[in-house]
């Protein structure tokens, strides 16, 4: 039972200060920029909601947003089932378990630019392992710097390679917490493997899957470094996802107004969809 104690605010003060410094000040700046125009020399003109309108109407933004949703959608429908399947097929105990878990966790601890660079040299058409295999051994033309489809397949595969283990680890932790008696009872009840999954394993996985799906949604929606290092957003702008576009505008062109408006819209979409996901997935518990 928690006791009521307003002095607890002292405990949270350091956290509050640090996070507020990092969050509030920049956000205020961004809001500030988003409603003003500047031509330099710190002179600002009020623009109202013009930037927001401009961004929301711009084809460039809509295209980037569309690509971003497509990317996140593909990531989720591949990584979540794949992660669950791998977790289901792993032994529940034994010597190999820590070995498996450690090797699976490795991709997640590699700096994101190295992930992008790694896949870059891996997929070079004539001198990369995958590139060579595709083009010369299998005879399938593959060049992600020329072909948008190849670029998409590559960034999706790269992310699957990078993050599926998160789903695996979380699902695995959920699965090993199921007592043996449930499996024994299911055997006695004559339940098929599918029924065991549907009625015993899946319900117990709900908490960890919620965490996994939320994290993967957020991180894939906000992704920047890996695809940027891999494709630079190309060929053309076929793999220019939302973050990449934003950074181009903000740090590349220094278009403060549009960049700021876009930032706020971006953040708002992330929050909204995360909240939707979270509510949908936890609504059963409220019953």
Partner 1 sequence: MRKRTLIPILYILFLMLPIYWLIAMSFKTTGEILSGFSLFPQTFTLENYKVIFTDPTWYWGYINSIIYVSLNTVISVAVALPAAYAFSRYRFLGDKQLFFWLLTNRMAPAAVFALPFFQLYSSVGLFDTHLAVALAHCLFNIPLAVWILEGFMGGVPKELDETAYVDGYSFPRFFVKIFLPTIKAGVGVAAFFCFMFSWVELLLAKTLTAVAAKPIAATMTKTASSAGYELGLLAAAGTLTIIPGAIVIYFVRNYIAKGFALGRV
Partner 2 sequence: MAKITLSNLRHSYLPNPNGPEDFALKEIDLDWQNGGAYALLGPSGCGKSTLLNIISGLLVPSEGRILFDGKDVTDLPPDQRNIAQVFQFPVIYDTMTVRENLAFPLRNRGVAQAKITERVAEIAAMLEVEEMLDTRASHLSPDNKQKISMGRGLVRDDVNVVMFDEPLTVIDPHLKWKLRSKLKELHQRVRATMIYVTHDQTEALTFADQVVVMQDGEIVQIGTPVELFERPQHTFVGHFIGSPGMNVLPADEGQGGVTVEGHPITLEGEVTGSGGVAQVGIRPEFVSLAKTGLPGRVRKVSDIGRHSVLEAMVGDTSIKAVIDGPVPAQGEAVHLAFRADQTRLYRDGWIATEVGA
Q: Which positions from 12 through 51 interact with partner 1, judged by CB under 8 A?
A: 12, 14-16, 18-19, 21-23, 25-27, 29-30
Q: How far apart are CA 249 and CA 60, in angstroms?
A: 11
Q: How far apart are CA 197 and CA 177, in angstroms?
A: 14
Tokens of 35: 């409603």
Q: Are 71 and 155 in contact (CB under 8 A)?
A: yes
**Strand partners for 44:** 38
Contacting partner 1 (CB under 8 A), which of 49, 62, 73, 111? 111
Q: Assess 172 for contact with partner 1 (CB under 8 A).
A: yes
Residue 49: CB minimum distance to partner 1, A: 18
- Residue 195 contact, options partner 1, partner 2, none, Cβ 5-8 Å cut-off depending on partner type: partner 2
**Residue placing its CB nearer to partner 2 in the complex, 27 or 191:** 191
Contacting partner 1 (CB under 8 A), which of 147, 211, 235, 281? 211
- Residue 182 contact, options partner 1, partner 2, none, Cβ 5-8 Å cut-off depending on partner type: partner 2
Q: How far apart are CA 113 and CA 50, in angstroms?
A: 35
Q: Are 262 and 249 in contact (CB under 8 A)?
A: yes
28: Cβ–Cβ under 8 A, 6 or more apart, which residues? none
Tokens of 284: 């059963």
**Residue placing its CB nearer to partner 2 in the complex, 58 or 184:** 184
Tokens of 69: 């949703």
Binders of partner 2 in range 186-215 (CB under 8 A): 187-192, 195, 199-200, 203
Contacting partner 1 (CB under 8 A), which of 42, 57, 93, 126? 126
Q: How many residues bind partner 1 (CB under 8 A)?
A: 94
Q: How far apart are CA 226 and CA 158, in angstroms?
A: 8
- Residue 92 contact, options partner 2, partner 1, none, Cβ 5-8 Å cut-off depending on partner type: none
Tokens of 30: 């961004």
Q: Assess 286 for contact with partner 2 (CB under 8 A).
A: no
Contacting partner 2 (CB under 8 A), which of 16, 23, 25, 185? 185
Q: Assess 69 for contact with partner 1 (CB under 8 A).
A: no
Please report where in the chains the tokens 């969050």 appear, as a residue: 23
Element containing residue 45 per DSSP (H, E): strand 44-46
Binders of partner 2 in range 165-184 (CB under 8 A): 179, 181-182, 184
């Amino acid at each position: 039972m928690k006791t009521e104690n307003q002095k607890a605010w002292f405990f949270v003060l350091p956290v509050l200060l640090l996070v507020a410094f990092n969050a509030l000040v920049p956000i205020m700046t961004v809001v500030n920029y988003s409603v003003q125009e500047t031509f330099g020399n710190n002179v600002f003109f009020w623009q109202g909601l013009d930037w927001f309108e401009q961004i929301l109407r711009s084809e460039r933004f809509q295209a980037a947003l569309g690509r971003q949703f497509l990317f996140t959608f593909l990531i989720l429908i591949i990584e979540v089932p794949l992660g669950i399947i791998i977790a289901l097929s792993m032994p529940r105990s034994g010597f190999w378990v820590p070995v498996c878990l450690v090797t699976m966790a490795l991709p997640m601890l590699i700096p994101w630019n190295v992930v992008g660079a790694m896949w870059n040299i891996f997929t070079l058409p004539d001198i990369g392992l995958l590139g060579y295999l595709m083009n010369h051994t299998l005879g399938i033309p593959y060049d992600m710097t020329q072909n948008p489809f190849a670029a998409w397949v590559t960034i999706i595969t790269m992310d699957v390679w990078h993050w599926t283990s998160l789903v695996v680890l979380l699902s695995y932790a959920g699965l090993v917490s199921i007592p043996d008696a449930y499996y024994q009872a299911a055997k006695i009840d004559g339940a098929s493997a599918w029924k065991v999954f549907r009625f015993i394993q899946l319900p117990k996985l709900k908490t960890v899957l919620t965490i996994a799906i939320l994290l993967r949604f957020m991180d894939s929606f906000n992704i920047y470094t890996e695809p940027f290092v891999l494709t630079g957003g190309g060929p053309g702008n076929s793999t220019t996802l939302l973050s990449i576009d934003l950074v181009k505008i903000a740090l590349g062109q220094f278009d403060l107004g549009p960049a700021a408006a876009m930032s706020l819209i971006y953040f708002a979409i992330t929050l909204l969809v995360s909240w939707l996901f979270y509510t949908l997935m936890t609504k059963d518990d409220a019953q």
